[in-house]
Structure 1
Amino acid sequence: MTLLNTSLISKITLFLVAAMLSVSAMALDLSQTKALANQGDAEAQYNLAVMYDEGQDDAKAIEWYKKAANQGSAKAQYNLAVMYDDGEGVREDNAKAIEWYTKAANQEYAPAQYNLAVMYDDGEGVREDNAKAIEWYTKAANQEYAPAQYNLAVMYANGEGTRKNNTQAFNWYLKAANQNNAEAQFNLAILYATGEGVRQNMITAKEWYGKSCDNGVQRGCNNYRILSQK
């Protein structure tokens, strides 16, 4: 029996998804939110920016994200970074994105820590630095942020920015897989199938291939079928 596609899936890239309205904003209409924002309320400024963002007024969104971000709102700092990263309402500027991701990341905001790690990993807006990428992936991963757990596992598996360590790769793939990360489920199945970082176990490998298949990884479906024929 020969398994198909036993090469690991590579890293996930940036999540350019803005954070959403806070719970308190749900009870307020636009005029109430504007009134509070104009009084200097940082949460209202953030929520007003999100409203403009969702209403496709990027220039207004940028204006209010900046106001909230300058008051220390981590979510606003993150969303502002995303807009610079993606060139929404402003000229694309990776250096500015790095600046604002860093501010939010230093406030322990996991999505910002993850995106900052990716930028160090890829050398976008900053000199490529795998050690820095590891540092920020680890911070986000320790907050149970599944994409960071997955990318951290890939780095340990490949020996990027750190000594190759299949046991650490296994541990982080497992954490991400248990959060239903499909790529992690597939790569975890490979480790069980090949006995890298864990005792070989084809039954468990089949289970994880099946889970990755259920979550849309075709390579997982292929290997699940092969193991089912044994």
Structure 2
Amino acid sequence: MKKSYIIGGTILLVLIGGFVFHRYVYSKIEYKKGLSYYKNKNYQKALPLFKDAANQGYAPAEVKLGVLYLYGEGTLKNYDKAIYWFKKAADQGDADGGFDLSVIYVNGLGVPRNYRKALYWVKKFAERGNAYGEFGLGWMYLFGKGVPKDYDEALYWVKKSAEQGNARGENLLGYMYENGFGVSQDYNKALYWYKKSAEQGYAPAKANLERLESEH
């Protein structure tokens, strides 16, 4: 009898594992279909596919669904739903969800502006080596948002982000070199980092690069 219980339990675990794996694969397929539509700016077709995958707990789809609600793409703008989906993703350890949630709190989109909550999310993922989290934490130290202004800390985190190839981090590091925040003012290094960021298509870096080149 005991042996039959063990066999039955093993079969049940295998069945559960198979179901979870199947659900994951299905969600990933739906997400990729949605992503294809999203990249072509066909947000209305992307929306139900992201919803389907997000409802299965697939974090990347939760983030993209939050983005659609945040900007009102393919649906009505809804900050509450954006926050809901970003938080679900962030709670699963998804760094993009955490960063997007911090943007919500920094800008007060649908909620009162709250730098402490923004700090919580960027710090959580920065300490795990995520480039967006590092950029966000560096930005907060640079401008004294939610933390005392600290150029040394800002430089530490922004540089880590930039060295991972994060376009926002590269642009912000260029800004720090241009203005001498935490470093000796160095226009050549500023141009270097602006250019690296601009080459990734980051519009603010392109503008900074053109401006600095025209001035120097």
TM-score (norm 2): 0.71
Indicate the percent of aligned positions where both proteins have the same amino acid.
29
Quick check: 1:62–1:89 contact (8 Å CA) kept in 2?
A: yes
- 1:127 is matched with 112
Separation of aligned partners in 1, 2:33 and 2:194: 40
Quick check: 1:209–1:221 contact (8 Å CA) kept in 2?
A: no
Q: Pick closer, same or farther for the CA change 1:208–1:143 going to 2, 3 Å.
A: farther
Secondary structure in 1 matching 2:149: coil
Counterparts of residues 164-203 of structure 1 (less than 5 Å): 164-180=149-165, 181=167, 182-190=170-178, 193=180, 196-197=181-182, 200=184
Shift of 1:213: 4.5
- 1:19 is matched with none
Q: Pick closer, same or farther for the CA change 1:105–1:171 going to 2, 3 Å.
A: same
Structure 1: gaps (5+ residues): 1-35, 226-230
Compute the RMSD of aligned alpha carbons. 2.8
Quick check: 1:213–1:221 contact (8 Å CA) kept in 2?
A: no
Asked if 1:211 is matched to 2:192, the reply is: yes
Secondary structure in 1 matching 2:73: coil
Separation of aligned partners in 2, 1:184 and 1:55: 29
Counterparts of residues 104-143 of structure 1 (less than 5 Å): 104-143=89-128
Quick check: 2:99–2:136 contact (8 Å CA) kept in 1?
A: no
Relative contact order: is structure 1 or structure 2 higher (C-alpha 8 Å, sep ≥ 6)? 1
**Structure 1 ranges of 4+ moved more than 3 A:** 51-60, 142-148, 179-182, 218-223
Quick check: 1:102–1:112 contact (8 Å CA) kept in 2?
A: yes
Q: Pick closer, same or farther for the CA change 1:68–1:155 going to 2, 3 Å.
A: same
Structure 2: gaps (5+ residues): 1-21, 199-205
Q: Which range moved further: 45-54 or 169-178?
A: 45-54
1:150-201 alpha-carbon deviations (Å, 9 max, x no partner): 332221122211122221111112113323434223233146x4xx545x4x
Q: Pick closer, same or farther for the CA change 1:52–1:153 going to 2, 3 Å.
A: closer
> When you count helix as a share of all residues, which structure comes out higher?
2
TM-score (norm 1): 0.67
Shift of 1:65: 1.5
Aligned residues: 181
- 1:14 is matched with none
Quick check: 2:178–2:187 contact (8 Å CA) kept in 1?
A: no
Shift of 1:219: 4.6
Shift of 1:54: 4.7
- 2:3 is matched with none
- 1:102 is matched with 87
Counterparts of residues 1-230 of structure 1 (less than 5 Å): 41-54=26-39, 57-180=42-165, 181=167, 182-190=170-178, 193=180, 196-197=181-182, 200=184, 205-214=186-195, 215=198, 216=206, 217-221=209-213, 225=216
Q: Pick closer, same or farther for the CA change 1:88–1:44 going to 2, 3 Å.
A: same
Shift of 1:222: 5.7
Quick check: 1:45–1:68 contact (8 Å CA) kept in 2?
A: yes
- 1:5 is matched with none
Shift of 1:102: 0.7
Q: Pick closer, same or farther for the CA change 1:150–1:222 going to 2, 3 Å.
A: farther
Secondary structure in 1 matching 2:112: coil
Secondary structure in 1 matching 2:109: coil
